[in-house]
């Protein structure tokens, strides 16, 4: 019994070229002072503090998905979470609705 050649199958490489597409999320302009949406105000204040959503969530002891849902306007924080946001981000989250 002799050896059977593998025909170079193990020597080949496959290259896949693609371009990475960034997610296009809604952007909030930090220059707007009279922003009425609480989610946008949270995002602007978080970005001014230099925090990522997961960092804010870690400081608050919540899931980062909850921060994303606040910023997208899907949900709003409850009273306890609003107090923590007010302390961490230094803005009045109580008056926003």
Residue 59 has a pLDDT of 94
Task: Please list, in sequence order, all residues whose beta carbon lies within 8 angstroms of the beta carbon of residue 14, skipping any fewer than 6 positions away.
Answer: none
Per-residue pLDDT of the chain (97 residues; tens, 9 = 90+): 566 555 555 555 566 776 766 666 556 655 544 446 889 889 999 999 999 999 999 999 999 999 999 998 899 999 999 999 999 998 776 654 4
In a domain, 23, yes or no: no
In a domain, 72, yes or no: yes
pTM comes to 0.61
In a domain, 69, yes or no: yes
Residue 37 has a pLDDT of 83
User: What domain range is 68 assigned to?
Assistant: 35-97
In a domain, 17, yes or no: no
Whole-angstrom CA distances from 73 to 8, 39, 68, 76, 86 are: 56, 5, 9, 7, 18
Query: Residues 45, 91: contact at Cβ < 8 Å?
Result: yes
Residue 17 has a pLDDT of 72
């Amino acid at each position: 019994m002799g050896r059977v050649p593998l025909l170079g199958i193990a020597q080949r490489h496959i290259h896949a070229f693609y371009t990475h597409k960034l997610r296009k999320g809604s952007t909030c302009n930090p220059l707007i002072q009279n922003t009425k949406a609480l989610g946008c105000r949270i995002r602007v204040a978080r970005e001014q503090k230099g925090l990522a959503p997961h960092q804010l969530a870690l400081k608050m002891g919540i899931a980062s998905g909850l921060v994303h849902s606040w910023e997208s306007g899907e949900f709003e924080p409850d009273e306890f979470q609003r107090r923590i946001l007010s302390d961490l981000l230094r803005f009045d989250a109580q008056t926003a609705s």
